[in-house]
Chain A
Amino acid sequence: MPSSRPLHLDLSPLVEACEADLRTCAEVWHQRGAQRFGLYAEEKPLFESGEESVKKTAVMRQSPVLLDGEARAFVRVHGPAKKLMQSHLDANAALFGRIFQLEHDNRVKTMYLAEVQKRLTNLHTFVHASRLMHQTIGDIISEMSRTTLDVLDVSGTFLYVKLLRPISASNHFADFSGAQGEIYLQQVQLTNCPQRAQFMPSRDSGEELLLVPIYVLGLIEGVSGFVDLPSRFTPFYEKMAEIMAEQIGARIEHVLLYDNILHEQRLTTEMELARQVQMHLLPQKQPTIPGLDICGMTFPALQVGGDFYEFLVNDQTFTFIVGDVSGKGLSAAMMMAMTRAILRSTASFAFAVMTPEDVLTQTNEDVYDDYNRVTTFTTTFMGQYDLAPVRDRLVIANAGHSPVLYCPLGEPSRLLEADAPPLGVLETIGVANHTIGFKPGDLLIVATDGFSEAENSADEIFGYDRLLELADQTRHLSAREIVKAFSEVATAFEGDRPQHDDRTIVVIKRLNPPDEDSSDVTP
């Protein structure tokens, strides 16, 4: 964009540039008898040649030098009247007028080219600034405001962005005092951000304010202001201002999106860490108990959940626990870690035999206040198998946990209902021990609702009936194979639908004694 500021026409440098031509011309006049030759502007000599004082008989002739149609100087000669041809002098004046005009135009064009080059450099800086990453919106505002000023070469620019509260404005007024800048800013804040580019007169200087809205994600979130003389605001200028405001908006959008991505990545990393911690809290290997085939596994969903299971072995008993904290995410994971720790320490109490009922009752008392505050609960199933002496039974207690599938040899599988609500619901839980037969060939599958509530694309739930059927179909397999089959069938049932909850399953199978036929049992 060419500058429309008038370039002051100063003759001195032009005369200096053409001094050799003036001297040649003067010599010709001196050869013809002229005593003095000169160029004058406003009665001051710009160039003079010849004698300081001229003879009394000498005459003076002069001719105007026209620039842009105006007489800006005169060429004068002094000498004998008959030697000085006015027509020659007029020709000289016309020639110098033309030379000066060309020199002047040349200078204007050179300056214009230099200015264009400067603008291009500034535009490059502006575009480059808009590509810098790791910037805050504050950085962008001050950077963009400064480079905008350079690109458009206006008296002042400022940026005001609502996104940074309470106030975020950057003033870059080239020729204005800070106080003047504050006045402009107040004007903008009073009128709110404009819907489209608009002009506003300034208070007392003769300048105008061009306000261009800044759109961020489709909403007007700020304004870019350009301060200058009204005559400077050409349509081209306006267009440039709009383009720059658009670029600033796009840049702010990038930063917001970039920040969002960073934030999400941070959350994902934290969730991943929580997930890893949670997985490390689960048993790292399957216990080896004579006469039992045991397998426990958790198949995590994308989001951290609150499933857990635990195996505890001492001289007298083998104890297993399966639990599920209601809800998902970090809060469920934290409650899971706490509940698991309390269950474990209660169950491992060294000075007395703690039955499942004792452990669940004690744990409920310990966690109730905390669960009340965070309003969640944990379903927990606990089973105990006597090791010395071995008995054909399991002692179980169930605080609100399902599904628990019991498959006695030769009978169809059935669901075991809880006899108390989950931990954390009632202050007095009222859970009790129950004894179920656990003879060779008997099987117990304790899963979490991630299995029963697996959902397919037709919004159907896997449900308890399918689980019972699956237990009957797989009961001849080893514990590990049963776990694998349950997981595969649930995953296949979901099809394209993502697994929305953790799935945990513990399979305990009573093996046939070694002296009996164990063809249907894999130890």
Chain B
Amino acid sequence: MNLAVETLDTVIVLKLDGRFDAYEAPQISAWVDNQISPGQCQIIADLSSVSFIDSTALATLVKGMKRCRQHGGDLYICGMVKTVRIIFELTRLDKAFRIFETRSEAVNAF
């Protein structure tokens, strides 16, 4: 899985692709640990190219969301494909995150 980081003003977009599972989660988890700070706490996870997500990956996104909120920011999710959206709906994590159809909607929401 690739991790592309883009900065749009004060918002950081994490573009993930492929499978987001227990094997890939540690690199995102490390990014969350090292990068999220009071000055860098408005994050968008762009999942439009993620085909599969497991519980460890979900926990990593929850961790990122909690870190951002602790610093007064948030972690939004955009561009989920159907299979990923089903997992968010079944686990009701769609209630915990703010989720947007497109990246620009997410950026404008900050």
Known interface pairs A401-B91, A402-B90. Does A500 touch B22 (Cβ–Cβ under 8 Å)?
yes
The 8 Å CB contact of B95, one of A372, A430, A453, is A430
What's the dominant secondary structure at chain A's contact region? loop
Contact B91 A422 (CB under 8 A): yes
User: Is A376 an interface position by the 8 A CB rule?
Assistant: yes
Across-interface contacts of B87 in A (CB, < 8 A): 402
Report the Cα distance A398→B19, complex, angstroms. Answer: 26
Across the interface, name the chain A residue whose C-beta is closest to B19.
Answer: A459
Interface string of B49-85 (1 = CB under 8 A from A): 0001011101100110011000000000000000000
User: Is A383 an interface position by the 8 A CB rule?
Assistant: no
Interface string of A440-459 (1 = CB under 8 A from B): 00000000010001000001
Report the Cα distance A500→B90, complex, angstroms. Answer: 21
Most buried by B among A377, A401, A449: A377
Report the Cα distance A453→B54, complex, angstroms. Answer: 8
Known interface pairs A375-B62, A415-B90, A417-B89. Does A449 touch B55 (Cβ–Cβ under 8 Å)?
yes
Across the interface, name the chain B residue whose C-beta is closest to A425.
Answer: B96
Most buried by A among B67, B91, B96: B91
Contact A420 B58 (CB under 8 A): no
Across-interface contacts of A449 in B (CB, < 8 A): 54-55
User: Is A418 an interface position by the 8 A CB rule?
Assistant: yes
Stretch of A187-195, A221-229, A324-332 that contacts chain B: A324-332
Across-interface contacts of B56 in A (CB, < 8 A): 326-328
Report the Cα distance A453→B56, complex, angstroms. Answer: 12
Across the interface, name the chain B residue whose C-beta is closest to A463.
Answer: B83
Report the Cα distance A375→B63, complex, angstroms. Answer: 5
Report the Cα distance A422→B54, complex, angstroms. Answer: 14
Across-interface contacts of B5 in A (CB, < 8 A): none
Number of B interface residues at 8 Å Cβ cutoff, please give it: 21
Contact B91 A328 (CB under 8 A): no
The 8 Å CB contact of B55, one of A375, A379, A417, A464, is A379
The 8 Å CB contact of A418, one of B22, B54, B63, B91, is B91
Across the interface, name the chain A residue whose C-beta is closest to B67.
Answer: A375
The 8 Å CB contact of B92, one of A328, A400, A415, A461, is A400
Report the Cα distance A103→B77, complex, angstroms. Answer: 97
Contact A377 B92 (CB under 8 A): no
Report the Cα distance A425→B63, complex, angstroms. Answer: 9
Interface residues of B (CB under 8 A from A): 19, 22, 52, 54-56, 58-59, 62-63, 66-67, 86-87, 89-93, 95-96
Q: List 27 A-B contacts (CB under 8 A).
A: A326-B56, A327-B56, A375-B59, A375-B62, A375-B66, A376-B59, A376-B63, A377-B59, A377-B62, A379-B91, A400-B92, A400-B93, A402-B87, A402-B90, A402-B91, A415-B90, A418-B92, A420-B92, A420-B95, A421-B91, A421-B93, A421-B95, A422-B92, A426-B96, A430-B95, A449-B55, A461-B52
